[in-house]
Amino acid sequence: MNTIDTSPSRIDAAFRDDEAFALERDSRDPLRAFRDRFHLPTRDNGQPLIYFTGNSLGLMPAEARGMVERELDDWARLAVDAHFRPEAPWYSYHETVREPLARLVGAQPGEVVAMNSLTVNLHLMMTTFYRPTEHRFRILMEAPAFPSDTYAVQTHLRARGIDPRKALLVVGPREGEEMIRPGDIEAMIAEHGRTIALVLLGGVNFFTGQCFDMSRITEAAHRAGCVIGFDLAHAAGNVPLALHDWDVDFACWCSYKYLNAGPGAVAGCFIHDRHASNPTLPRLGGWWGNDPGTRFRMHLEPEFIARPDADGWQISNPPIMALAPLRASLAIFDEATMPALRSKSLQLTGYLHWLIERKLTGASRAHEIITPREDAAHGCQLSVLVHDQPRARRDALQDAGVICDFREPNIIRAAPVPLYNTFHEVWQFARILGGCA
């Protein structure tokens, strides 16, 4: 997974804290032209803001508007016949993103489908893969998990008649620490595996930016006889993924963060082929998950016959206006490639980490990075723990033209995204954050 060495000795040799260094790195960046493929938020004077919030909402691809307008035009011109137009018919429109999504998450094409929203997909996956028994009924999650995941699991358990207080098992950081020790997850699985029906973790933790070793955790879960799924909201388009080879049972992700498909964008779902090819697995059905050969026989075929791939978990027909921006973004990922993006990401975030540690984490300890430094243990995001006047520092960043993320009570999350952020912006961010001290 690692593409460059970001150990402290290498960083000290590679980085400098002067502006000329940042500008020179940008001039040599082979991905610099992709920045022009996005709409950048600007100040009143037209100058770009420093946008480090791609971990919450990615920027709009310039091609997205034209792709959505094409669908609107065809709706106006063709109406229902647009379902069967020669190029990208609405009937199979979701299939246009199947292969690029598969490449992005390391899957076979039949293992992925774009549908619904993330939390809806989690519920659908739990309907299939959470099969509690008298003795094996627990769900293992991390703390802090994204709140929607926790709500989904709690309510899903209650809907099954199971008390979340008994069934929900949580692994979190040790007392006085911010990150979860990787060995603690495996130890929890080994200790309680006989009672765990499902391991459900974030691939990258939303709060700390910690990236988990999904391959090792999957192996540990399967050794214990557990099903394992991942929420990849902060991982898809951020870190390299190999879901098929890792033998992950299922995964879900949203598309509005690093995948730049717009607010509330259609989400994605992965179901490993050994499950996806089994149409007899229990699920909540809908007509778009039904066999296309009989789909339009409707009342003449009252029995649900699931498609033997990930499409068999679809419930409703694809949301065309939501899929169009995703097509625009995935085309950019295919052109840029994840290995190249990951290489730049490690350098951008490594530079930010180095600048903050060099300038802002001295004797005063006003700022403390709680994201792991090791390459494989983080993505774009750095989470900075602010000990002194955190809200005032957040407001000062905003006043200086920086858009970043604040999580109560005192965490600033900054995510330099390789598709559209620059080394000079990283240098500016560190300088502005230092000026807030």
| In the chain, where the domains are located | 8-30+337-435, 68-334
Helix (H) or strand (E) holding 413: strand 411-414
Instruction: Give dist(CA 379, CA 211) in Å, integer.
Output: 7
Instruction: Give dist(CA 37, CA 63) in Å, integer.
Output: 8
Residue 295's pLDDT is: 82
Residue 388's pLDDT is: 81
For residue 100, cis peptide bond before it (omega within 30 degrees of 0):
no
Least confident window among 38-52, 236-250, 293-307, 393-407: 293-307
Q: What average pLDDT score do residues 343-370 get?
A: 84
Q: For residue 362, what pLDDT band results from cuts at 50, 70 and 90?
A: low
Residue 6's pLDDT is: 38
Q: How many helices (H) and strands (E) does the chain have?
A: 15, 15
97 HSE (CA, 13 A, CB side):
31
Higher-confidence residue of 394 and 372: namely 372
Residue 229's pLDDT is: 98
pLDDT, tens digit, for every residue of 270-296?
A: 999 999 999 999 999 999 999 888 888
Residue 363's pLDDT is: 44
Q: Which of 397, 423, 413, 430 is nearest to 20 (CA)?
A: 423
CB 189 within 8 A of CB 220: yes
Percent of the chain with pLDDT over 70: 95
Q: What average pLDDT score do residues 33-47 get?
A: 95
Task: Give the CATH number of domain 8-30+337-435.
Answer: 3.90.1150.10
Q: Pull the structure tokens for residue 170.
A: 């949580």
pLDDT, tens digit, for every residue of 385-435?
A: 988 888 888 888 999 999 999 988 889 999 999 999 999 999 999 999 887
Q: What average pLDDT score do residues 162-169 get?
A: 97
pLDDT at 13 over 70: no
pLDDT at 51 over 80: yes
Q: Pull the structure tokens for residue 202.
A: 């974030």
Task: Give the CATH number of domain 68-334.
Answer: 3.40.640.10
pLDDT at 300 over 90: no
Least confident window among 172-181, 211-220, 366-375: 366-375
pLDDT at 164 over 50: yes
- How far does CA 87 lie from the centroid of its chain? 30
Query: Mean pLDDT of all residues in the chain?
Result: 93
Q: What average pLDDT score do residues 75-82 get?
A: 97
Residue 61's pLDDT is: 98
Measure Cα distances from 235 to 69, 149, 206, 390 in Å: 30, 15, 9, 27
pLDDT at 361 over 70: no
Q: What average pLDDT score do residues 196-216 get?
A: 98
